Structures are given as C-alpha cells and as structure tokens.
C-alpha cells in the first residue's frame, strides 16, 4: 500500500507554495487508496516555533486535507514530530559510525567560507566539501577533539553513482560522490536534515515522497544513507516551486496575503484556494472552486509541469479573498 507524507517545517506560516505541495502529496496518496502521514520537521530548534505547528494543522484542515497518522491523532510509527525522535537519529548515527561511513570534521566556519569559490551542486547543497578532514590519523583526531568538538560527515569517497526515475522529472543521474562529504551531525549536536528525513521516512514505511524541486540535490545523499542503513529508498516526485513576478521564490517578501492564514481571515473560501492551486499545477485547465476530493479523479503526476511556475500577478492570490 502506498504511504505518503507531508512534512512541513514550523519555521513560518504556511503559504500557497507549501499548500500546493501538501495538496499534490495528498492527491497522489488518496488516488492510490493509501495512507497519508503528517510529520512535523522541527529538527532546527532555533527556527521552529510551537505556535506554527498549531497553525499548520488548522490551515490544512481548513483546506480540506486530512491525514491518517500525525502529531494530533497518533499512529503506529510515532512520534510524528522530529524533536521527539532524537534517540532514533542517535541510533542511526552510531550505526553509520560503526560501519565506517562517517568521519569527524574540524573545519571552522572560516575554513568553509573559503570554499565559496568551489564548484556547487545543482541547486541547494552549496560548495562541495573537498575532504579536508577525511583521512586524518586517529592520533590527530584525538588531539583536535580536545580543542574543538567536531561535526561528523558522511564519506562519499567510495559511493556509487545514483540513477532513479523521478515520477515528475523523469530519469535522473548523479555521479559518484556528488556534492562531496555532507554533514550528518553538527558540532552543536544537532542531527542534519539528511539523516533525520531518511530515518523518519524509513521507519514510517514511506513509499512515495512528493516535495519541491529545491530538494532534488538532496536525493542522492539520502539514497546513500538509505543503503548504508539497510533500507529501500522511496519513489520520489519533485514538483515545481512557485515564483513571484520578480523572479524570486514565493515567500513572505511578496506580502502577507500569500499565507493561508491571511486568506482565511480575509474571507476566502477553501475551495477557491484549492481550485487556484489545481489550476497553477495544471491539474485542471481553468480555474474553478473545488474541494480536494473532487480533484482525486482528475489528478495525475504527468500533468504537473517540469519547470518552476511564476505567479505573474500577485493580485490573482488576493482575488481569492473575494471568491
């Protein structure tokens, strides 16, 4: 049975781009008759806010999106909030360490800043780490550890090339070692997104992941982690992001009107927001207010564009208030 999820980070209020990802994930699962999971990814405690979790849940319910397992209703694979799953990440981290996949990294922020001119990944992963600390002798590691707490990186020196078929973008290929050695545990003790999302999806039995194209670069790293931890990777669908007329990714800089909360308070109907999103993502060929359940028979991943979508006129969003 298909198991999909929506895993928002409570670092801000949900806007229509986030809602679009939730809708497409939900439609994929509901059309297949599977289980839909809501998981809160609050591993970055510095940016996450408890009040945003409550707001996210309210916004999703207002839109007409439901879930079978989640932080508010529980389920067999909980807890469904990352801050309560630290022991699971620690166990996976120790497993990777024992297998020799990790090495301590003592590079300072200044060292890493100097990598800014190095080749970058496709989109989100930043400069390629050149393996500065990869082969430090154990004696030197011990000396450095007494001076500075290290981060821990995944050694990509001997990983394989990654090929997979994205259900939206088609065949994807990443060469061996793409993006360089990546952080699994930070020097301050926080586990990375890469490790946490793999552990969560694997232990929750997630079979299909639908998320934004900005996370495409993360996929090879996650596939290497799945393999190292002895799990099968899910099927991936990377969907286009929404951009404003200024050519930048849609965000709060474009105004508060793009948040679901603002649309609700201004009197928008949830069916209008859902219909607008369905039209943006080409699920329907003309705008009309619809409930999520009405879109299920119309949904197919082949309809979703393969390039980012531009909202040319932000008044289109504001006009939903009048619907």
Of 322 and 241, the structure prediction assigns the larger pLDDT to: 241
Question: Is residue 21 domain-shared with residue 35, that is, in the same domain?
Answer: yes
The number of distinct structural domains making up the chain is 2
Beta bridge partners of 265: none
- Please give the Cα distance from 72 to 58 (Å, whole number): 11
Nearest C-alpha neighbor of 229 from the set 59, 121, 97: 97
Mean pLDDT of 98-116: 82
* 114 in any annotated domain: yes
174-214 tens-digit pLDDT: 999 999 999 999 999 999 999 999 999 999 999 999 999 99
Mean pLDDT of 284-296: 96
Q: Are 37 and 5 in contact (CB under 8 A)?
A: yes
Tokens of 171: 């065949």
- Please give the Cα distance from 144 to 100 (Å, whole number): 19
* 212 in any annotated domain: no
- Please give the Cα distance from 198 to 212 (Å, whole number): 16
Radius of gyration of the chain (CA): 21
Mean pLDDT of 121-144: 80
Tokens of 217: 């670069």
Question: Is residue 52 domain-shared with residue 116, that is, in the same domain?
Answer: no
Domain that holds residue 285: 3-83+240-322
Question: Is residue 53 domain-shared with residue 79, that is, in the same domain?
Answer: yes
DSSP calls for 111-141: HHHGGGGSPB-SSSS-BPB--TTTT--HHHH
- Please give the Cα distance from 189 to 182 (Å, whole number): 15
Question: Is residue 158 domain-shared with residue 122, that is, in the same domain?
Answer: yes
* 34 in any annotated domain: yes
Question: Is residue 76 domain-shared with residue 90, that is, in the same domain?
Answer: no
Question: Is residue 296 domain-shared with residue 312, that is, in the same domain?
Answer: yes
Q: Can you list the alpha helix ranges (DSSP code H) found in 4-127?
A: 16-32, 50-63, 86-98, 109-113
Of 126 and 274, the structure prediction assigns the larger pLDDT to: 274
For the ranges 1-10, 286-295, 304-313, which has the lowest average pLDDT? 304-313
pLDDT at 2 over 70: yes
Mean pLDDT of 6-14: 93
Residue 110's CB: how many other CB atoms inside 10 A?
7
Nearest C-alpha neighbor of 14 from the set 261, 319, 263, 264: 261
- Please give the Cα distance from 271 to 93 (Å, whole number): 44
pLDDT for 5: 98
* 234 in any annotated domain: no
Which residues are part of the catalytic machinery?
A: 252
Question: Is residue 191 domain-shared with residue 95, that is, in the same domain?
Answer: yes
In the structure, what pLDDT confidence band is assigned to residue 119 with cuts at 50, 70 and 90?
very low
Nearest C-alpha neighbor of 263 from the set 2, 18, 7: 18
Question: Is residue 91 domain-shared with residue 188, that is, in the same domain?
Answer: yes
pLDDT at 148 over 90: yes
Here the CATH number for the domain that contains residue 262 is 3.40.50.620
pLDDT for 252: 62
pLDDT for 245: 84
Tokens of 310: 């531009």
Q: What is the pTM assigned to this prediction?
A: 0.93
pLDDT for 307: 94
Q: Could you tell me what percentage of the chain is helix, strand and coil, using 3-state DSSP and rounding each to the nearest 5?
A: 40, 20, 40
Instruction: Compute CA 130 distance to the chain's CA centroid, rounded to the nearest angstrom.
Output: 25
* 226 in any annotated domain: no
Q: What is the DSSP letter of 296?
A: G
Tokens 């200044």, residue? 110
- Please give the Cα distance from 136 to 221 (Å, whole number): 23
* 308 in any annotated domain: yes
242-287 tens-digit pLDDT: 998 888 888 766 665 789 999 999 899 999 999 999 999 999 999 9
300-323 tens-digit pLDDT: 999 999 999 988 777 777 777 665
17-73 tens-digit pLDDT: 999 999 999 999 999 999 999 999 998 877 788 899 999 999 999 999 999 999 999
* 206 in any annotated domain: no
* 225 in any annotated domain: no
pLDDT at 289 over 90: yes
Question: Is residue 276 domain-shared with residue 249, that is, in the same domain?
Answer: yes
- Please give the Cα distance from 258 to 248 (Å, whole number): 14
Side-chain-side CA neighbours of 59 within 13 Å: the count stands at 29
């Amino acid at each position: 049975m298909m198991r999909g999820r929506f895993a928002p980070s409570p670092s801000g209020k949900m806007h229509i781009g986030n809602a679009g990802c939730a809708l497409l994930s939900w439609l994929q699962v509901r059309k297949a008759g599977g289980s839909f999971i809501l998981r809160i990814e609050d591993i970055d405690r510095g940016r996450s806010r408890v009040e945003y979790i409550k707001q996210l849940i309210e916004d999703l319910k207002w839109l007409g999106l439901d879930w079978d397992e989640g932080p508010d209703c529980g389920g067999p694979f909980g807890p469904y909030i990352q801050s309560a799953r630290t022991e699971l990440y620690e166990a996976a981290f120790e497993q990777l360490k024992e297998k020799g996949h990790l090495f301590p990294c003592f590079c300072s922020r200044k060292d890493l800043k100097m990598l800014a001119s190095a080749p970058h990944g496709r989109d989100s992963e930043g400069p390629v780490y050149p393996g500065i600390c990869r082969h430090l002798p154990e004696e030197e590691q011990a000396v450095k550890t007494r001076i500075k707490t290290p981060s821990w990186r995944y050694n990509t020196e001997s990983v394989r090339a990654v090929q997979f078929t994205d259900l939206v973008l088609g065949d994807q290929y990443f060469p061996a070692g793409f993006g360089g050695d990546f952080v699994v545990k930070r020097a301050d003790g926080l586990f990375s997104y890469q490790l946490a999302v793999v552990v969560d999806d694997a232990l929750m039995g997630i079979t299909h992941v639908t998320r934004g194209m900005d996370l495409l670069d993360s996929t090879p790293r996650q596939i290497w982690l799945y393999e190292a931890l002895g799990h099968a990777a899910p099927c991936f669908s990377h969907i286009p992001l929404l951009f404003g007329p200024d050519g930048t990714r849609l965000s709060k800089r474009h105004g508060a009107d793009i948040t679901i909360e603002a649309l609700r308070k201004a009197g928008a109907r949830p069916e209008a927001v859902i219909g607008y999103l369905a039209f943006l993502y080409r699920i329907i060929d003309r705008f009309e207010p619809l409930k999520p359940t009405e879109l299920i028979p119309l949904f197919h991943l082949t309809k979703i564009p393969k390039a980012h979508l531009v909202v040319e006129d932000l008044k289109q969003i504001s006009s939903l208030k009048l619907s």
